[in-house]
Amino acid sequence: MDRSTTRRARGAATAPGRPADAERLLDRADASPAAQACRARLALDRGDALRAVELLERLLRRAPDHRALARIPVLELLVRSRIACDEPDAALAALDELRELERLVGTPALRAYADRAEGMLAAARGDHSRARTLLEDAVDRFEATSAPFEAAQARIELAATLVALGRMEDAEREAVAARASLRELGADAEAERARQLVEAPGGSGALMLERVTPREREVLRLLAEGLTNRQIAAQLVVSEHTVHRHVTNILRKLGLHSRAAAAAQAVQAGLLGHPGA
């Protein structure tokens, strides 16, 4: 199938309630790297980060080491997928290769992708101050290179980090800008993510507490403190597999795509008492 099928699948993947349409389009597409990357993105969005990792690592095995431009977007998505799997060391390995290739190519757009990936990893580790700087740089570089969709995605991650830092006015400004840009681009599903981050207290925060179980709330609180699944498991005296299942359920119930966004929701709902600075 031609490239237009893959492009339509990408569009469907970011539209509200249309992942099934994207899957059908991809079933008609060939096994090109672009189609495989789109399948990985869909897997990550529906909470199957392990499947996304498998698809992306297969793509990297097929992409020659000297094909930097082919490897960079795959590595960036692999960092995000490894973060979703709570595998920070593996995410760091992918990030290191991404940074090395970005330095070789040296374009502002590729540096923006690397900044966003590193910022998301910093947020997942609880280093929100470092994440804020990296994500701000990513937003600026994406905008300077006329990449509005990528800039808006980076703004969503930045808004989540700002919420975790207790900077609600700044977070709202970034989320509103992201939402406006995404709606203009027709990416309503992504725009909804931006809206959810800055619901007023008593809105999404109250709904969140109704959706998650008491045990999931406890896991969410520890996740928001920057603990890994292994650390949460040790503190709660349960297996890592159990914690992973809780985190997956939390993200699914809240309609979120990252641990950083879940941490932001926890802060907004008052699960931490006082947000870190």
Q: What is the pLDDT of residues 24-46, one digit of tens each?
A: 555 555 567 778 888 898 888 87
| Amino acid 7: pLDDT | 44
Task: Name the one residue in this structure whose structure tokens are 């985190």.
Answer: 247
Split at pLDDT 50, 70, 90, the class of 125 is confident
| Amino acid 276: pLDDT | 41
Kindly list the distances between the CA atom of residue 265 and the CA atoms of 97, 196, 251, in Å, as whole numbers in the listed order. Answer: 31, 9, 11
What mean pLDDT comes out for the span 3-16? 44
Q: Which two tokens stand for residue 240?
A: 């890592």
The amino acid present at 1, given as its one-letter code, is M
Q: What is the pLDDT of residues 62-109, one digit of tens each?
A: 877 667 778 888 999 999 999 888 788 899 999 999 999 989 888 999
pTM of the model: 0.72
CA distance 11 to 19: 10
| Amino acid 253: pLDDT | 76
Give the residue with greater pLDDT, 229 vs 207.
229
| Amino acid 58: pLDDT | 92
CA distance 264 to 257: 12
- Kindly tell me if the per-residue pLDDT of 17 is higher than 80: no
- Kindly tell me if the per-residue pLDDT of 151 is higher than 90: yes
Q: What is the pLDDT of residues 250-263, one digit of tens each?
A: 887 776 777 877 87
Question: What percent of the chain lies above the pLDDT cut of 70?
Answer: 80
Q: What is the pLDDT of residues 189-222, one digit of tens each?
A: 788 877 776 664 434 455 455 677 888 889 988 9
| Amino acid 139: pLDDT | 97
- C-beta atoms surrounding 187 within 10 Å: 24
- Check: CB of residue 91 under 8 Å from CB of residue 83: yes
| Amino acid 132: pLDDT | 96
Q: What is the pLDDT of residues 129-138, one digit of tens each?
A: 999 999 999 9
CATH topology of domain 1-106: 1.25.40
- Put residue 270 in one of left, alpha, beta given phi > 0 → left and psi -120 to 50 → alpha: left
Split at pLDDT 50, 70, 90, the class of 273 is low
Give the residue with greater pLDDT, 87 vs 12.
87
Report domain extents, the chain. 1-106
Could you tell me how far CA 213 lies from the centroid of its own chain? 23
